[in-house]
Amino acid sequence: METTKPAAKLVTARFWQEWASNIAKIVQSDIRQIAERLKNADKTDIGAVFAEFSEILGKDTDSLPDEDDIVELLAQYLVSKPVLDILFSGSSIAEHNPLSGKTIRKIFNTFGDIHSSLPKESLEQFYQAVAARAKGLEQKPEARQKFIAELYDRFFSRAFPKITDRLGIVYTPVEVVDFILHSVDDILQTEFNRSWGSQGVQILDPFTGTGIFIARLIECGLIKPQDLEQVYKNELHANEVVLLAYFIAKINIETAYQVKNGTPYRAFSGVHFCDTFVIGEKDKSRLMNPANRQDRQQDPKQLNYENGRDVTDIRIIIGNPPYSTGQESANDDAANQKYPEVDRRIAETYLASTLTKGGKRSSYDSYIRAIRWASDYIGNCGIIGFVTNAGFIQSASADGMRKCLAEEFSNIYIFHLRGNARTSGTLRQKEGGNIFGVGSRAPVAISLLVKNPFAKQKGQIFFDDIGDYLDITRKLGKIKKLKSIAGLKDKWKKIVPDSYHDWLNQRDGCFRNFPAMGDKKNEQRLTIFKLYSSGVVSGRDAWVYNASKTKLLQNVQRMTEFYNQEIDRYSRYRKRFPNKAVNVRDFVKKDVKKFSWGGGNWQASFKKQIKETFSEDLTEISNVRPFTKSWHYSATRFNHSSYSMREIFPAGASENLAICVSGNGKRGGFSVIMSNRITDFQFEDNGQCFPLYFYEKSDARERGKDGAKQSGFKRCNAITDEALKYYQTAYSDNHISKEDLFYYIYGVLHSPDFRARFSDNLVKELPRIPAVKTLEDFKAFASAGRTLGHLHVNYESVEKYPVKLATKKKKLEPADFYVTRMRYGGRGKNKDRSVIHYNDKITITGIPLATYDYIVNNKTAIDWVMERQSIRLDKTSGIVNDANDFARETMHNPAYPLELLLRTITVSLETMKIIRNLPELEI
């Protein structure tokens, strides 16, 4: 009976999650114990065994892995060996693999007791469950590949999250693998009169993982039986940078070949333990310099290829490139490796062709590096079949990349699988499931990129979208049914890029004729604002923002003390080793409970050993999200950047107003809201703030001619004289003021007509403001903008909406207003947004559903209040942010969260009333 329980549990996601969590603990424990035994072990039997094993690995991998890699491999293998024995049972391959047979016995004899000293119950259950699930899989190659992918996807993401973050490991569904393989086969036949098995067709999976692409190519019958041996021996190649995955890939591919060909074991010499991008760095003349690849200018049918594993012409590149852009936090020691040569190629092609400001960091995303690398590697004749992040298809910052792809490839096929989890509301529902599950939040696309030097047309782009509201199962089912791009032949939409290199959602060309709100490159003929700024980016929000001023100061004081202690430690180290190069990011202790090392503003002063001085005077109230204030600690070193915010809202200066719009890289549609105080970068989505005024430091005796002297600052109009003249001339009215124009802009930015007509422009660039047809309409927009601005800035003083409050007490005490997390009435599909459960004592009913029509920064105003008026725990630092603290300490009103919610209902309804009464946009 005991053996049947795990099999029953196997089908549940929770069992996999529990197993993965247990494995993580066991593997990390093994790593620590193995590393401990290796200390000072050079002259012992342990040291000799480890050295022998390292040497054997070096021979098999063509390069000697470093000690940390080998220690990780041993720990991984100690828990993985029974799984591999089950998955590849009945195969003679285990006898030949360096992680099996005689090679590994000494290692197990030396280190096996480490593993056996740990609790076995959960592992034994897991192994039994694997055996039950794997039963019969030797006759079902597709099911076996699915199982291997699922198993190791969970293994690496749970046991080695930092490796996953750094390398972007996400394993590929078999349906997607097969679709890419069949699609490449179709292209080979239709464009090159070739097949996978044709002599001279070289194949590389540069990011092979567990070898699923190569294994499925062997298993699914696309290579004719008479060609399989030649292809296996000479024309299949794969690279992998994670050592355990490398060995699994080797076993997996060898097993696939042995089963398919029905022959005795034959080693697969085409898999390499290496970083694909580093291969390119080491062999620039062959791999990275297109100028040295002119030998490819000949008929594809007559191309000659070298026999053997080290070939210079690889015609087909397939796979799932890594997804990582960069580590999310400097605290996690998972920084991505830099690749100067690939990055140089990106800079001189994709970035050199861009028309967009900003977004450079995302241009070095690993999957973009992979596309750049692969395009260079195949020269001017070949096929790339990748499943990747789909951001490059629509991102404004990828315009240069799209331009280059259209120039470099003859045919481009994009099958958009959607699944963007960085959206919200209805848009998120339409995106449907992500085929990688929780492995990726980014949208996903299958790309087939073809270089045919004899194609009659270049840069043909074919696009199809998998559809709305599809979950993962339905998406994978549809992919399987289509089988390849041939299944989409009647569905392809042919894309003709516009002058901005947009493929989808192409912009309205007349938008460029309107005055730009801002331009930091000084490229625009007419700019409305002299200055604008991003909001504050802290790099450590949990530490420098809090609802409680008292708790914020306590957190910051604790953080400051630790920071200064680290400077003392660094100072002692420099005195001891004055000539030794030190990277301060690597030097500091990554104790996330004491400090967050995000952002880069601290590094210069840290190197100079300048300590931070704690000061209560550096606190201020900030707008952090729509209708949400928070205390902020503004010390320069502890905030990554304030950009020009201090010129807009300097400490001690008069009040100001700023129109905050969603900026580049926004996750949803266009949005705008007004601010009257220092503003966080995510007050709007990657927000950019355009002020009514800006401030310059001034002598106390000086009074500026275009502004008033205030507390050592001179107030200056932020709107240019040229912009004012433009609109005055348009209406022949010199009485229009800069303040009128400011509110006119705010009114136009709320216009449904404006947002609908220029929606594609607004998600890709900063707004431009047309002059409406008549002075009457100008005044109507300006009046509406003024009213909206007043409403959005003074939201705390509007009338509370008269809802019904259901309470358990006739008279509520201050403690009864304590809120932990508000929630809507009903559940799931029966959710009732006319009801909000404020807490266990208060329920709000009678909320008009029209309230939820007002969307700002990708959410309803009500959702922002419900999310932020709560108790939130930052899991990394352990810091608690309790909205009740702001209510009691700052507002001196325990009922503030409830009243804010009721006032926001009024703001939402009044906002939509004003918007619906705006004039039609006639330009």
Taken in order 298, 299, 304, 310, is the CA torsion positive or negative? positive
- The span from the CA of 884 to the CA of 893, in Å, is 9
Asked if residue 338 and residue 196 are part of one domain, the reply reads yes
- Three-class DSSP category at 470: coil
Tokens of 682: 């995510």
Per-residue pLDDT tens over the stretch 727-755: 999 999 999 999 999 999 999 999 999 99
**Domain end among 771, 804, 831:** 771
The residue among 232, 175, 241, 233 whose CA lies nearest residue 207 is 241
In a domain, 215, yes or no: no
pLDDT at 284 over 50: no
Ranking 166-175, 194-203, 602-611, 616-625 by mean pLDDT, the lowest is: 166-175
Backbone angles phi, psi at 839, to 5 degrees: -160, -170
In a domain, 209, yes or no: no
H-run or E-run covering 867: helix 861-868
In a domain, 446, yes or no: yes
Please give the residue range of the domain that contains residue 392.
178-203+268-495
Asked if residue 555 and residue 489 are part of one domain, the reply reads no
Query: What secondary structure letter does DSSP report for 471?
Result: -
Asked if residue 389 and residue 290 are part of one domain, the reply reads yes
Asked if residue 189 and residue 334 are part of one domain, the reply reads yes
Q: When comparing pLDDT for 678 and 707, which is higher? A: 678
Q: What is the mean pLDDT of the chain?
A: 85
Backbone angles phi, psi at 804, to 5 degrees: -100, 130
State the DSSP string of 581-645.
---HHHHS---TTT----SSTTHHHHHTTPPPPP-GGGEEEEEEETTEEEEEE--GGGSSB-TTH
Asked if residue 814 and residue 765 are part of one domain, the reply reads no
Give me the CATH number covering residue 451: 3.40.50
Tokens of 182: 């069949």
**Domain end among 433, 467, 495:** 495
Q: Could you tell me if 535 and 660 are in contact, meaning their C-beta atoms sit under 8 angstroms apart?
A: yes
Asked if residue 91 and residue 40 are part of one domain, the reply reads yes
- pTM of this structure: 0.81
Asked if residue 585 and residue 438 are part of one domain, the reply reads no
In a domain, 789, yes or no: no
> Counting Cβ atoms within 10 Å, is residue 47 exposed (0-12), middle (13-18) or buried (19+)?
middle
- The span from the CA of 800 to the CA of 743, in Å, is 25
> Given 3-state DSSP classes, what are the helix, strand and coil percentages for the chain, each rounded to the nearest 5?
50, 15, 40
Q: State the Rg of the chain over Cα.
A: 31
The CA–CA distances, whole Å, from 490 to 188, 387, 482, 487, 720 equal 20, 22, 12, 8, 53
Residue position matching structure tokens 């009864």: 816
Number of domains present in the structure of the chain: 4
Per-residue pLDDT tens over the stretch 362-397: 888 999 999 999 999 999 899 999 999 999 999 888
Q: When comparing pLDDT for 98 and 442, which is higher? A: 442
- Which pLDDT belongs to residue 39? 73
Asked if residue 836 and residue 752 are part of one domain, the reply reads no
Asked if residue 451 and residue 370 are part of one domain, the reply reads yes
**Beta bridge partner(s), residue 806:** 843
Tokens of 802: 């008269």
Residue position matching structure tokens 């990657």: 686
In a domain, 818, yes or no: yes
* Band of pLDDT at residue 332, cut at 50, 70 and 90: very low
In a domain, 740, yes or no: yes
Per-residue pLDDT tens over the stretch 534-547: 999 999 999 999 99
Asked if residue 706 and residue 584 are part of one domain, the reply reads yes
Query: What secondary structure letter does DSSP report for 854?
Result: -
Share of the chain above pLDDT 90, in %: 59
Per-residue pLDDT tens over the stretch 462-521: 999 999 999 999 999 999 999 999 999 999 999 999 999 999 999 999 999 999 999 887
Asked if residue 681 and residue 611 are part of one domain, the reply reads yes
- The span from the CA of 567 to the CA of 602, in Å, is 11
**Domain end among 84, 104, 135:** 135
End-to-end CA distance of the chain: 78
* Band of pLDDT at residue 71, cut at 50, 70 and 90: confident
491-496-497-503 Cα dihedral, nearest 10 degrees: -10
* Band of pLDDT at residue 18, cut at 50, 70 and 90: low
In a domain, 621, yes or no: yes
- Averaged pLDDT for residues 789-811: 95
Asked if residue 761 and residue 820 are part of one domain, the reply reads no
In a domain, 83, yes or no: yes
Q: When comparing pLDDT for 263 and 922, which is higher? A: 922
Q: Could you tell me if 382 and 315 are in contact, meaning their C-beta atoms sit under 8 angstroms apart?
A: yes
* Band of pLDDT at residue 305, cut at 50, 70 and 90: very low
b/e code 230-254 from CB counts within 10 Å (16+ = b): ebbbbbbbbbbbbbbbbbbbbbbbb
- Which pLDDT belongs to residue 8? 41
